[in-house]
Structure 1
Amino acid sequence: FQTISTFFVHDLKNAASTLKLTLQNLPVHFDDPVFRQDTLRSIRATTERINQIIERLGALGSKLELRPSPVDLNLVVEQAIENVNGMPGVEFAKELEPLPKLMADSEQLRSVVTNLLLNARDAVGEGGRIEVRTGTQNGYAALSVSDDGCGMTTSFLRDSLFRPFKTTKKKGLGIGMFQTKMIIEAHHGSIRVKSDVGKGTTFQVLLPLTPDE
């Protein structure tokens, strides 16, 4: 129960981070009607997500429970990007190929994509670049998130990256990548990472296009 409840705390922290970023940018671009419209849409989507998290927290059990339904992975990616977009000074690129729908929990997949995007944002800082791609690979839907940020050491990748409460961030909970891996594996998928210190990191997620029998 404690580990799963920590996931919800982490998701709420991400939602709060999204709202904070949006509000920080609002005074600078307030006179832009397009930005105001995007901001209202982002705030609305984030508050809806908070309500969904609270609802699921109320029905919390001792293990991660999925609510599978036909899911458009590209739509999940677009929603996650919209929620965390507005990163000041960060170049954002995406290349989303048409994909068949997955049988998956859309809310949990959104947590995965959000974790990867926020992780990339923290790695690059201002002036960095983040690339998001989707496609297919050997019967799997493939999602990759790449950044040109600080990168991670081989020892951190081996010993700490996917373990709970291990982080290089001063204010991090150390739960995001552990949660991400657990959600992906619950969907019978896998996650891979390549990283070079000073050059950047790429996470690749593979999810089966048809559910395991």
Structure 2
Amino acid sequence: MYKSFSPDEDNESGFIAPAMIPVFAYAFKEALIGMAVVNQQGDILEVNEVLCRMLGYTRRELLGMNKDDIAYAAVGTEDWVSRWKELAATKRLQMEKRFRHKDGHWVWTMLNVSLLPGTDGSFVYYVQLQDLTGRKAMEEKLERSRQELGPLFEYNPDIVCIVDMQGHIVSINSTMRQVTGYETDELAGHPCKRFIFPGDLETAAELFEAAKNGRTRTGEFNVSRKDGSWITVEVNTLPIQVGSRVEGIYAIAKDVTRRRETEERLRTSEKLSAVGQLAAGVAHEIRNPLTALKGFTQFLQSGAEGKQEYYEIMMSELNRIDLILSELLMLAKPKASEFAWLNPELVIRHVLALLEAQAILKNVEFLTNVDGSLSGMMGAENQLKQLFVNLLKNAIEAMPDGGLITIRLQEQADKRICFAIADQGSGIPQDLIDKIGVPFYTTKDQGSGLGMMVSRKIVEEHKGILQIESVMGEGTTVYVRLPINRESGEMEEKRK
């Protein structure tokens, strides 16, 4: 009779009761892993069906073997031999071990051996074998991939960073070391969020969460360099999958700092260009109320009656001057893109006030139609005003002989506000519409092409859509569809 062994028990306890022997035999037979009983000399005394299937032998074939007949015994297996010999003292053995299948290939297993003492001082070994073939094949595949892709990772011209599922940096490539100034050991083990601009943490978290769920995402945020400066990176996150499980994340990024700075300079240049072109109209617009104010002042000096009515007219003219100058400064002033809730109709009316003088000079009339009540929307006010100044200026310039520009605002079922700006110009050929927005491409004699490029960029930053429809001889309509909430626009992009 044998007793169960526990290192916390003395040698006189833990006997298997006779009534439990059938239970023990049943568990041995029905186990989901390979099971065997081996004597001190290594002879196989008993096996279960799972072990037979794992190694391809019949029970009768295995019972006639010694463990060494099937155990892997190549050079470097001294540890296996010595640890088996020490089992009598250690009572436990656990290791990864290969055993020979009947057809000749090797089966990787997790080997667990326990000592089962008998009442007469003898003992046998209770052996459990868990098949690791699938896992080992995956590990070998990953190692081959690592060796094959290692140079692609290390010498990739893009920034590449490997992140674990907890958001800690595992490894970085040479480009990231060069761009950030950090060495691998200075970043490895640290959480990514430590190096991300606080205002961008939510964006970064969304990218990494998507990758953890097996999806790829692209976004933009700012990260710190070792010297304390910040760079803007465009990041694409990809899941690292082992089988069906995500085990980590690749973050592949481009340093777009210079590109963003160039775009901002182009945008500022276009703003100043627009301001310069509006100057004549604004001067005309301001001169009119100033002339009126001068006249009323002289009239009041003469002692005229009904002064209260004149004061109201004068305040109205002063408020108009203040509005025009405020809008001009709003357009010209370099300002960070701060998103806030806006009244879309009010944005258009402010822009029209700024352009009204230029429209009068060009014999152009504005007609605004608002379909029903509009919801407020999330946007950057200075950017949106620049966008509509650009589009309305284009519409004015498309009608050198004057005409009507119709601005229609409509809230759509997909929670977007649609701004439609239609002119009565000569139209744009269909083959040229796709080129509009390309830097330095323009259909105007004295244009730069940067205005529409900046306009498209503003719409993209608002997660919106800009479309142009034109009929030769009838005119052009520009549709700008902006999400009421910028987050809803991001969700729409994800679905696409």
| Category of TM-score, reference length = shorter chain | 0.7 to 0.9
- TM-superposed CA distance for 1:47, in Å, is 2.9
The residue type equivalent to 1:93 in the other structure is L
Picking from 6, 14, 17, the partner of 2:277 is 17
Where does residue 6 of structure 1 map in the other structure?
A: 266
How do 1:122-161 and structure 2 match up within 5 A?
A: 122-138=397-413, 139-158=415-434, 160-161=435-436
Q: Which amino acid aligns with 1:41?
A: L
The answer for the alignment partner of 1:84 in structure 2 is: 355
SS at match of 1:150: coil
- C-alpha distance in 2, partners of 1:190/1:149? 23
Number of the residue aligned with 1:49: 331
2:457 aligns with: 182
Contact 2:271 2:331 in 1 (8 A): no
Shift of 1:96: 2.4
Residues 30 and 125 of structure 1: CA distance in aligned 2, closer, same or farther (over 3 Å)? farther
* Equivalent pair of 1:19/1:43 in contact (CA under 8 Å): no
In the alignment, which residue of structure 1 is the partner of 2:385?
Answer: 110
Q: Point out 4+ residue stretches in structure 1 off by more than 3 angstroms.
A: 24-41
Aligned partner of residue 110 in structure 1, secondary structure:
helix
Does structure 1 retain, via aligned residues, the 8 Å contact 2:347–2:385?
A: yes
13-22 or 103-112, larger mean C-alpha shift: 13-22
Distance 1:146 1:108, change over 3 A: same
Which structure 1 residue ranges, 5 or more long, are not aligned?
A: 57-64
1:195 maps to: 470
Q: How far did residue 39 of structure 1 move?
A: 4.7
Alpha carbons 2:289, 2:321 under 8 Å: kept: no
SS at match of 2:473: coil
- Do the aligned residues in 1 keep the contact of 2:331 with 2:385 (CA within 8 Å)? no
Q: Alpha-carbon deviation of 1:40?
A: 5.3
Shift of 1:170: 2.1
Secondary structure of 1:169's aligned partner? coil
SS in 2 for 1:85: helix
Q: Which letter maps to 1:67?
A: E
User: How far off its partner does 1:134 sit?
Assistant: 0.5
* Length, aligned pairs only: 201
Q: Give me the whole-angstrom Cα distance separating, in 2, the residues matched to 1:195 and 1:70.
A: 32
The one-letter amino acid paired with 2:433 is L
Indicate the structure whose relative CO is greater, using CA pairs within 8 Å and at least 6 residues apart: 1
- Relative to the length of structure 2, the TM-score reads 0.38
Asked whether the 8 Å contact 2:339–2:378 carries over to 1, the reply is yes
- 1:204 equivalenced with 2:488 (yes/no): no
Question: Aligned residues: percent identity?
Answer: 22
**Which residue in the other structure is 1:68 paired with?**
339
Post-superposition offset of 1:66: 3.4
8 Å contact kept, 2:327–2:351: no
Helix, strand or coil at the partner of 2:409: strand
With the length of structure 1 as denominator, give the TM-score of the two structures.
0.84
> Could you tell me which amino acid in structure 1 is paired with residue 420 of structure 2?
S
Deviations 1:65-121 (A, max 9, x none): 732111111111111111111212112111124211111111111111111110101
Structure 2: runs of 5 or more not aligned: 1-260, 294-312, 492-496
Q: 1:155-170, aligned counterparts within 5 Å?
A: 155-158=431-434, 160-170=435-445
Does structure 2 retain, via aligned residues, the 8 Å contact 1:76–1:106? yes
C-alpha distance in structure 2 between counterparts of 1:164 and 1:82, whole Å: 29
Equivalent residue for 1:100, pick from 375, 379, 383 = 375
Q: 1:47 to 1:130 in 2, by over 3 A?
A: same
SS in 2 for 1:151: coil
**Bigger share in strand:** 2
- Correspondence for 1:59: none
User: Helix, strand or coil: the match of 2:398?
Assistant: helix
* 3-state SS, counterpart of residue 124 of structure 1: coil
Residues 148 and 201, structure 1, Cα contact 8 Å, conserved in 2: yes
User: Larger deviation: 28-37 or 186-195?
Assistant: 28-37
Q: Say if 2:387 and 2:455, in contact at 8 Å, map to a contact too.
A: yes
Change (3 A) 1:22 1:91: same
Q: Which letter maps to 2:443? A: T
Structure label with greater radius of gyration:
2
